[in-house]
Amino acid sequence: MSSLSWMVSRTITQIFAPPKNPVQSLNVQAECATPARIQPQFEVLVRHLIYRFFHNELLASDDETKRVMLIAYCVGLPTLVVSLFMYPVYHAFPPAPYPRPFWPQVGDHYFYVMYSFLIMGAATVYEWDLLFPDVLDIFVLSILPISARRLFFARVLALAIFLALVLIGTSILGTLIFPIGAGLPSLSRHLFAHATAVTMSGTFTAATFLALQGILINTLGDRLFRRITPLLQGGSIMLLLAVLLLYPTLAHSLKPMLTSNIAAVRWFPPFWFLGVYERLLHGPSVQPIFRQLARTGSTALLLMLGAVLVTYPLAYRRRVRQLIEGAGRIDARGPATIPFHRLLHAALLRIPSQRAVFHFVSQTILRAPRQRVMLALYGGLALALTLSNMIVLHVDAGHLHASLLPYGIRTAVPIMALWTVTALTNTVSAPIDRRASWLFRALIGRPQPGHIAGVRLWITLWSLLITLATALILHALSAAAMRTPLVTATQLLIAIGSSLLLVDLRLFPVRTMPFTYLRASTFNDFPLMIVRYFIFFPFFVVIVVHQETWIEANLLHLLETVAFIVLAHLILLKAHAHTLEQTTLDLPPDEGDEFPLRLGLRDV
């Protein structure tokens, strides 16, 4: 009975109680509302510039946020995965009778220092064209009521925040997990040593490329700087990837390299910050070589930061003046190329459509930052894979020697052929500015075999040039046993055949004009991309190298291979032409419902 009366009284109380959220007039609600914070002009500028670092034409896709997140995952996870795999090494099951030896620990530390060095360098090179103002900054931001000094400091702060985010995202997981998993006596000392060495390594690489670009902008003209930019990016990526691919060799040879009196070791930057790591971790009792390397690394970092402080403001001012005054157009058609073009027109480019597309690709492929960065990434990767698979380092009597492996020499041609064709086809397929791509559809409609033939011929010629040059250079460096006429003919045949057939296979699904089409998604087929590059690539190289020994057996095998390459090339060409005739107009996914009504003119 008491419970019933309690429930009745509670119900009556709730009915006659005042509402928790009384109805208020609009004026009262407006007075109670918290006014929105007005962002200062400088904060808006910094946010805008940071946004441009993560959302630009280098990341052009159907969903830029997904691409940015995918890149962040790929960059940040390796340190976590390596740290987890290191745990059993330091805590064996059952417990090991002795702790992990000193030099294997040094090899573990080298990975994190090297990885920070690599990623920060790659990020700086990747954002090469955004490190300084571009045309949009000058002709959009400069006409607003914003002082030039505020624009400069906003860019400096945005660049510092971007590099700090990359550095933290790259190293934070390894910094937290690896020292805990290693279980050394002093955890706080290990955390401090790890974080300091990794931060110094990444900061040094970013400062080096910033100082390099600042020096070049201050000393070279705009036209010459634009000409050498692709070479600088490709060479930088090659060196960074070579450091990564040489990690297994260097990690297992640290003791003989660092304990011997080799001058080259003291000029290898990742070793400098490895010395910082060991000096902070073990204190004054560490070996003398690590103290020397730590001093060199600290001095080099200070010098690079000083170079950035001096050159960046001067380069920023010079870059702004160059953009305002305008740069001359780079004409790739020099007098030396005229006879070559005439020969191409007479022998290969007889159809006007082929000739037009061929020169369109030649004049367009290096104009946009996205295409230059893609070529630099693929070119650097191809050279790094070739060198790491071919060169072996030896330490002998205090000297560092490099030798060439015969198997590595054989793999160089298929590696260069595959990655060259992949680089060129992917670069040509990447869009530049699709707002004017309707012009091709309005003028020619569906691309004809002649248009695709111009693209195929351009990619094939460059692939042949690179692979044949690789084969001839390695022929001069090979041992006498690999310079016989039959072996040389086999290498040249592999270069020509690989280039022809790989181009045919890569261009077989192409149905559009170059630089005009954006794929619907680049993430749903990510597992297929992994299979293509991590399974098909080594399988292709192994098969080609295995066939080389069969071809070199006798002249008949060489002739049979020539017949197979020619027959396969003709079949693929005929099949591709047939599919082009059967294909309807291939519109980009976001323009199929609007063409030809809008034609992209509203975005201009």
Helix (H, G, I), strand (E, B) or coil at 201: helix
| Cβ 355 vs Cβ 449: under 8 Å | no
Work out the pLDDT band at 210, boundaries 50, 70, 90.
Answer: very high
Q: Is residue 19 part of a domain?
A: no
Q: Is residue 189 part of a domain?
A: yes
Q: What is the pLDDT of residue 601?
A: 46
Is 50 exceeded by the pLDDT of residue 597? no
572: tokens are 């693929």
| Cβ 105 vs Cβ 193: under 8 Å | no
Buried b / exposed e along 23-49 (16+ C-beta atoms within 10 A): eeeeeeeeeeeeeeeeeeeeeebbeeb
Q: What is the pLDDT of residue 9?
A: 64
Question: pTM of the entire structure?
Answer: 0.77
Please indicate, yes or no, whether residues 317 and 412 belong to a single structural domain of this protein: no
Q: What is the mean pLDDT of residues 128-142?
A: 79
Is 70 exceeded by the pLDDT of residue 21? no
Is 80 exceeded by the pLDDT of residue 58? no
Q: Is residue 381 part of a domain?
A: no
Q: What is the pLDDT of residue 211?
A: 92
Please indicate, yes or no, whether residues 356 and 303 belong to a single structural domain of this protein: no
Helix locations, 55-131, DSSP H: 64-90, 102-126
Is 60 exceeded by the pLDDT of residue 501? yes
Q: Give the closest residue to 495 by CA, choosing from 420, 422, 567, 546.
A: 420
Tens-digit pLDDT profile for residues 519-539: 655 445 555 666 667 778 888
Helix (H, G, I), strand (E, B) or coil at 585: coil
Peptide bond into 179 cis (omega under 30): no
Q: Tell me, what amino acid is at 301? A: L
Please indicate, yes or no, whether residues 319 and 416 belong to a single structural domain of this protein: no
How far apart CA 202 and CA 117 sit, in angstroms, is: 5
538: tokens are 């080594």
Is 90 exceeded by the pLDDT of residue 206? yes
Mean residue pLDDT across the chain:
79
Please indicate, yes or no, whether residues 320 and 438 belong to a single structural domain of this protein: no
Structural domain boundaries enclosing 532: 351-364+405-588
For residue 559, the Cα-to-chain-centroid distance in whole angstroms is 40
Please indicate, yes or no, whether residues 280 and 357 belong to a single structural domain of this protein: no
Measure the CA dihedral 187/191/197/200, to 10°.
-160
Tell me how many degrees the CA angle 83-85-88 measures, rounded to the nearest 5: 110
Q: Provide the domain count of the chain.
A: 2
Q: Is residue 72 part of a domain?
A: yes
How far apart CA 131 and CA 215 sit, in angstroms, is: 13
Q: What is the pLDDT of residue 303?
A: 95
Q: What is the mean pLDDT of residues 278-292?
A: 88
Q: What is the pLDDT of residue 594?
A: 45
How far apart CA 550 and CA 564 sit, in angstroms, is: 14
Q: Is residue 557 part of a domain?
A: yes
Q: What is the pLDDT of residue 589?
A: 47
Say which residues have a Cβ less than 8 Å from residue 509's Cβ, sequence separation at least 6. none
Q: Is residue 599 part of a domain?
A: no
Please indicate, yes or no, whether residues 139 and 285 belong to a single structural domain of this protein: yes
Q: What is the mean pLDDT of residues 98-124?
A: 87
Please indicate, yes or no, whether residues 299 and 412 belong to a single structural domain of this protein: no
Question: What is the DSSP code string of 209-238?
Answer: HHHHHHHHHHHS-HHHHHHHHHHHHHHHHH
Q: What is the pLDDT of residue 116?
A: 92
Q: What is the pLDDT of residue 326?
A: 65
**Lowest mean pLDDT segment, chosen from 55-69, 189-203, 581-595:** 581-595
Say which residues have a Cβ less than 8 Å from residue 279's Cβ, sequence separation at least 6. 286, 290, 291, 294
For residue 14, the Cα-to-chain-centroid distance in whole angstroms is 65
Please indicate, yes or no, whether residues 202 and 252 belong to a single structural domain of this protein: yes
Work out the pLDDT band at 433, boundaries 50, 70, 90.
Answer: low
Q: Is residue 12 part of a domain?
A: no
Is 60 exceeded by the pLDDT of residue 405? yes
DSSP 20: S
Please indicate, yes or no, whether residues 303 and 429 belong to a single structural domain of this protein: no
Tell me how many degrees the CA angle 467-468-471 measures, rounded to the nearest 5: 90
Please indicate, yes or no, whether residues 105 and 226 belong to a single structural domain of this protein: yes
Q: What sign does the dihedral 168-171-175-177 (CA atoms) show?
A: positive
Please indicate, yes or no, whether residues 432 and 466 belong to a single structural domain of this protein: yes
How far apart CA 343 and CA 391 sit, in angstroms, is: 39
How far apart CA 112 and CA 102 sit, in angstroms, is: 16
| Cβ 179 vs Cβ 194: under 8 Å | yes
How far apart CA 419 and CA 207 sit, in angstroms, is: 30
Q: What sign does the dihedral 509-512-513-516 (CA atoms) show?
A: negative
Q: Is residue 449 part of a domain?
A: yes
Please indicate, yes or no, whether residues 493 and 574 belong to a single structural domain of this protein: yes
Residue that wins the pLDDT comparison between 262 and 120: 120
